[in-house]
Structure 1
Amino acid sequence: MKNYIDLHMHSGYSDDGEYTAEELVIKCHQSGIRIMAITDHNTVSVIDEELALCREMGIIAIPGVEIDCTWKGIDLHVVGYGIDHHQRDFQKIEEDITAQEIINSRKRVWLTNQMGFQLSEQDMEESSLSDVWPGELFAEVLLGRPEYADHELLKPYRPGGSRSDNPLVNFYWDFYSQGKPCYTETRFPDLETVIDLVHAHGGVLVLAHPGVNLKEHFEKFDELAALGIDGVEAFSSYHDTVTCEYFYEKAKQYDLLVTCGSDYHGKTKPAISLGGSGCSVNQQQIEAQLRQYGLI
């Protein structure tokens, strides 16, 4: 049965998203998605528009936001579902992180040039409508510059290269994520604070794509489960079959909500399609859990 639930996707309100809310809702309708959530990075700006559009299209929409946070020195992504998104606390998170990211974007220019490139802040300004320049944008700019057509560092991300399936986001993970050469630290709220915030505003908190953020330390999930998270995105485009099954079993062990999400962005991840979460269980089970948690 084709997956009809996708609870993780991004609109243009995310600095690495491509499509408007209307375009996403139409694409979901065309893809057979019946239950969806746009979960932009640290912003709830899309939600009112999303809810209205989904009502018109006959799609069930769950208000959601993906929030960056930290726990024991690890950068994590969590998603708050069913939140009262009009609360000022969510706007404060966006304002704080955006202010830091504007500064960090300029630092990324310098760090990128340390790898053998020559980019200016003007180059980045001309390539974006935003003052925030994520790693994916640096990849797009560099891959589009003719002078770097044969640059060794970029070859894995060009057609046929080992990282060419999703070249822009792969470049981000390889060079701009935590622990990589162009990483810039942003002071994110701690996980416990975000758990309390989401719960205080009527939401359910789910750990997103843990296979990416926990990397070789899956055993740490047992500690996370004890902190008060409500669910885990066991099925994600980032997870292979073994990883999906591992976190699905962990969710059952701790009686947690199981979610599935493609993490669809558009051009940033061209190999990812809506509904493409690798979900291997009957999605009616997930739908039943969503009802149990009062999300639909």
Structure 2
Amino acid sequence: MNRRDADLHVHTTHSDGSCSPCEVVIAAAQVGLAAIAITDHDAVTALAVARPEADRLGVELVPGVELTCEYRAREVHLLGYYFRDDDPDLLAAVARLRASRAERLGSMAAALEGLGLIVDVEAVRRCFPRAALGRRHLAEYLYRTKQSPSVREAFDRWLADGRPACVEKLRLDAFEAIALVGKAGGVVSWAHPPYNTNLESLRALADAGMAGVEVAGPGVQNRVGRRFRDWAATLNLVPTAGSDFHAADRPGRRVGAYVTPDADLLHLRERAGASRSG
């Protein structure tokens, strides 16, 4: 098979996805992708699991992670690529974020119980033994235990931003995240930037070493994506794209639904190589 293009935004059971690392690699191979980046939230443990399957199927596994960050007093997500996944400083930062997620889970569970719901945190952990647990897992638990008619309803009623059981996450400073990934030999792209992102904000992160910006995906409207693509050209950023795959039941988010062309993947790889040599 003549493989082409890359899905650079995919989640697995090691964060809040429903498919295992090997399953998403198999899905990438089945749709003819040349490469896939597993970008679990604040976790890199899926990479070692997926690597043998990617080698077997001839799919490039791009080391990836989606880091929870803060920039100008708002939460943003930055995608790290092509880093060394054994870098001690990056691993320490990811471990710190995961530890905070565990504390946050307990606080949200307590808030739900204060609202009259029943939440067994240990049961949630057993249901998702490798995951970086968060709101989606609690929502799934409430649905499975018939305390909510759907996962979406659990979010809308209790767990979404501003709802009574939502608790803020620990966030890395965006500039710290860019530096950490760069020190580990990788590069960063801004995942699904908010629609009201301006050129000045993008330029500040580019000046700090950010190498790319996501211009296509389920969280990026077409007209907004075109604007980001124009700005990427202005700022010498690599335009990236990915499905933001989490589960097969999310319409329009199958693996390979949004792809980064081979030429852009090559530029991203070259930027990482330049970072390492520099």
CA distance in 1, matches of 2:81, 2:157: 29
Instruction: Confirm or deny that 1:283 pairs with 2:264.
Output: no
Ranges of 4+ aligned residues in structure 1 off by more than 6 Å: none
User: Aligned-pair distance for 1:22?
Assistant: 1.6
TM-score between both structures, scaled by the size of structure 1? 0.78
TM-superposition CA deviations, 1:128-168 (whole Å, max 9, x none): 4368641112222333444544xxxxxxxx5xxxxxxxx55
Aligned partner (choices 191, 211, 221) of residue 174 of structure 2: 191
Q: Is contact 2:187–2:272 with CA below 8 Å preserved after alignment?
A: no
Give the secondary structure class of the aligned counterpart of 2:45.
coil
Alignment check: 8 A CA contact 1:70 1:189 kept: yes
Listed one character per residue, the Cα deviations across residues 80-116 of structure 1 (whole Å, up to 9, x for unaligned) are 11111111122212321222221211111233356x5
On the 8 A contact 2:13/2:131 being kept in 1, the answer is no
**Partners in 2 of 1:12 and 1:72 — Cα distance?**
31
Residues 166-185 of structure 1: pairs in structure 2 closer than 5 A: 168=152, 172=155, 176=159, 179-185=162-168
Q: State the secondary structure of the residue aligned to 1:290.
A: helix
Alpha-carbon distance in 1 for matches of 2:48, 2:96 = 22
Q: Aligned with 1:205: secondary structure?
A: strand
Choose the corresponding residue for 1:242, options 180, 199, 223: 223
User: Closer, same or farther in 2 for the Cα pair 1:174/1:28, shift >3 Å?
Assistant: farther
Structure 1: runs of 5 or more not aligned: 150-157, 159-166
CA distance in 2, matches of 1:284, 1:104: 39
Count residues in correspondence: 269
Which residue in 2 is equivalent to 1:33? 33
The reply on whether 1:224 has 2:196 as its aligned counterpart is no
Where in structure 2 are the equivalents of 1:6-25 lying within 5 Å? 6-14=7-15, 16-25=16-25
Partner deviation per Cα, 1:198-220 (whole Å, 9 max, x = no partner)? 11121111111113xxx544453
Question: How does the TM-score come out when normalised to structure 2?
Answer: 0.83
CA distance in 2, matches of 1:174, 1:247: 33
Q: 1:135, 1:171 within 8 Å by CA — same for their partners in 2?
A: no
CA 1:229/1:174 → structure 2, altered by over 3 Å: closer, same or farther? farther
- Distance across 2 between alignment mates of 1:26 and 1:131: 20
CA distance in 2, matches of 1:200, 1:76: 20
Q: Is the 8 A contact 1:43 1:90 kept in 2?
A: no
Report % sequence identity.
Answer: 23
Q: CA deviation at 1:254?
A: 0.7
- Determine the C-alpha separation between the residues in 2 that align with 1:46 and 1:293: 24
Structure 2's unaligned 5+ residue stretches are 274-278
Aligned residue runs from structure 1 range 142-153, under 5 A:
142-146=142-146, 148-149=148-149
Q: Report deviation, 1:251.
A: 0.8
Other-structure match for 1:141: 141
3-state SS of the aligned residue for 2:185?
coil
Aligned-residue RMSD, C-alpha = 2.9
